[in-house]
């Protein structure tokens, strides 16, 4: 694209193979970062990590580490790192300096016991459910600025109530089903899977109860009804039915 000279100047002036003192100070006060990983086939994932200031720990000028928790149990980032250790981290300071820092490198997982043998000073979480299962240790290969252009300047909202629900398993406090995905998934959506040709009212009632319970669990309230339908195997008029808390089918 005709920008080779411009890119060469950026690499020469801004890209380091370590974290200099100002970069280390920047990392030590960040409360969030974005993590990019890919599996062995190159399928990508980008995720968000957050914690108290400095939860992304600077072990030395070439090494970072952060704790991984149970979360939703998927562990997509850890799975990718097992297959492909290349990672990219982006930290953005929206609050004070309005600047960003990229760190690219290779990652590996260590158990909590393993990392503490070498770094016993790492903090231990006191909140139930927040004990690290694994630590991700990143060897820095590139560190460089993300310029301030177009980074919004934000301010932190005051804490409300009990503050952050660290370690909670309360579905609604974690965001519930904000995007409505749980009600659209084909195996459990409000539109019920087709029943067997000989399904009776009790079968429909049991399935609809499950869907309604799921809706309430994920914070959708109590839907007035759940609709179900299927084509008859013989091509006859499709059955349409609905279930409500009144028990009608």
Any idea what DSSP says for residue 192? B
User: What is the structure's pLDDT at 216?
Assistant: 61
> Does position 238 have pLDDT exceeding 90, yes or no?
no
Greatest mean pLDDT range, 65-74, 165-174, 219-228: 65-74
**pLDDT classification of 45: cutoffs 50, 70, 90:** very high
Same domain? For 124 and 17 the reply is yes
Cα three-residue angle 166-169-171, rounded to 5 degrees? 110
Same domain? For 19 and 84 the reply is yes
The residue among 71 and 43 whose pLDDT is bigger is 43
Same domain? For 196 and 94 the reply is no
pLDDT 10s digits, 139-153: 999 999 999 889 999
Q: What is the CATH number of the domain that holds 60?
A: 2.30.110.10
The residue among 214 and 36 whose pLDDT is bigger is 36
User: What is the structure's pLDDT at 167?
Assistant: 54
pLDDT 10s digits, 6-20: 999 999 999 999 999
Q: Tally the domains of the chain.
A: 2
Same domain? For 48 and 123 the reply is yes
Identify the H or E element spanning 227: strand 226-230
If you count them, how many residues does the chain have?
249
Same domain? For 110 and 233 the reply is no
The answer to whether residue 168 sits within a structural domain is no
pTM above 0.85, yes or no: no
> Does position 111 have pLDDT exceeding 90, yes or no?
yes
The answer to whether residue 160 sits within a structural domain is no
**pLDDT classification of 127: cutoffs 50, 70, 90:** low
Same domain? For 107 and 186 the reply is no
In three-state secondary structure terms, 143 is: strand
Cα(19)–Cα(58) distance, integer angstroms: 9
Same domain? For 13 and 136 the reply is yes
Structure tokens at 96: 């004070």
Structural domain range at position 205: 181-243
User: What is the structure's pLDDT at 49?
Assistant: 94
Q: What are the residue ranges of helices labelled H in 1-52?
A: 4-14, 21-28
Q: Which one of 90, 120, 146 terminates a domain?
A: 146
Cα three-residue angle 16-21-27, rounded to 5 degrees? 85
Same domain? For 17 and 137 the reply is yes
Sign of CA dihedral 8, 10, 11, 13: positive
**pLDDT classification of 190: cutoffs 50, 70, 90:** very low
């Amino acid at each position: 694209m005709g920008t080779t000279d411009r890119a060469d100047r950026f690499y020469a002036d801004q890209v380091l193979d370590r974290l200099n003192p100002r970069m280390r100070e920047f990392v030590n006060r960040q409360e969030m970062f974005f993590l990019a990983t890919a599996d062995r086939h190159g399928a990508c994932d980008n995720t968000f990590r957050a914690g108290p200031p400095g939860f992304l720990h600077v072990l030395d000028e070439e090494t970072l580490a952060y704790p991984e928790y149970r979360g939703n149990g998927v562990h997509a980032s850890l799975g990718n790192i097992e297959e492909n250790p290349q990672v990219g981290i982006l930290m953005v300071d929206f609050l004070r300096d309005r600047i960003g820092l990229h760190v690219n490198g290779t990652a590996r997982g260590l158990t909590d016991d393993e990392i503490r043998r070498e770094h016993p000073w790492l903090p231990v979480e006191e909140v139930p459910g927040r004990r690290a299962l694994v630590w991700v240790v990143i060897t820095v290969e590139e560190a460089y600025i993300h310029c301030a252009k177009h980074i919004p300047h934000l301010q932190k909202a005051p804490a409300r109530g009990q503050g952050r629900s660290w370690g909670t398993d309360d579905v609604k406090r974690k965001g519930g089903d904000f995007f409505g995905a749980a009600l659209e998934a084909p195996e459990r959506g409000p539109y019920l899977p087709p029943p067997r040709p000989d399904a009776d009212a009790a079968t429909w009632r049991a399935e609809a109860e499950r869907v309604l319970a799921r809706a309430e669990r994920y914070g959708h309230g109590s839907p007035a009804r759940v609709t179900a339908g299927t084509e008859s195997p013989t091509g006859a008029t499709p059955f349409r039915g609905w279930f409500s808390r009144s028990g009608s089918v």
